[in-house]
């Protein structure tokens, strides 16, 4: 591999452009709205449910720019349900879709202390 024509500044520029962009993740409220759109709010407890977001990683081979895979926990008075979910923005609105990154931790330690909080929109 020849690097001589590039020089040190050229190598630094390559290294700078190769760095990953920071992940943009939805707020719990935006993610909750996206999940309700995906799953529907006619299931018992869905309208009053809350959503917590745990670990997020880039989606592999993303279908949309900025798509992320996150562990999520749906919180209801009767219990919780942890599942991976993908999120991406479409026209400024967050969209939820089935997960594509299977490297997410399960159970996610970031969600271990999350529980439903009466009267709150987020845990």
Is residue 88 in a domain? yes
Whether residue 93 lies inside any domain: the answer is: yes
Q: What is the pLDDT of residue 120?
A: 62
- Whole-angstrom distance, CA of residue 14 vs CA of residue 22: 18
For 46-61, give the DSSP string. Answer: STT-EEEEEEEEEPSS
For residue 123, the model assigns a pLDDT of 60
**How confident is residue 16, by pLDDT bands cut at 50, 70 and 90?**
very low
Query: What is the spatial distance between Cα 3 and Cα 74, in angstroms, rounded to a whole number?
Result: 51
Residue 18's pLDDT band, with cuts at 50, 70 and 90, is very low
DSSP state of 31: H
Task: Print the domain residue range for 101.
Answer: 21-111
Task: Assess if residue 56 is contained within a domain.
Answer: yes
51 phi/psi in degrees, rounded to 5? -130, 130
The pLDDT tens digits for 5-14 are 544 444 444 4
36 lies in some domain: yes
Domain-located, residue 3: no
17 pLDDT higher than 80:
no
pLDDT of residue 102: 85
Both structure tokens of 123: 């845990």
User: 69 near 56, Cβ under 8 Å?
Assistant: yes
Average of per-residue pLDDT across 83-104? 92
Query: Is there a domain that residue 119 lies in?
Result: no
Structural domain tally of the chain? 1
């Amino acid at each position: 591999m020849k690097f001589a024509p590039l020089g040190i500044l050229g190598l630094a520029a390559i290294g700078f452009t190769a760095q990953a962009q920071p992940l943009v993740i939805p707020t719990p409220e935006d993610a909750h709205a996206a999940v309700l759109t995906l799953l529907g709010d006619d299931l018992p407890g869905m309208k009053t449910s809350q959503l917590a977001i745990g670990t997020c990683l880039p989606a592999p081979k993303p279908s949309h720019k900025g798509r992320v895979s996150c562990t999520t926990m749906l919180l209801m008075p009767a219990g919780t349900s942890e599942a991976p979910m993908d999120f991406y923005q479409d026209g400024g609105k967050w969209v939820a879709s089935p997960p594509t990154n299977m490297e997410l931790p399960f159970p996610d330690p970031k969600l271990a202390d999350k529980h439903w909080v009466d009267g709150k929109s987020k845990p």
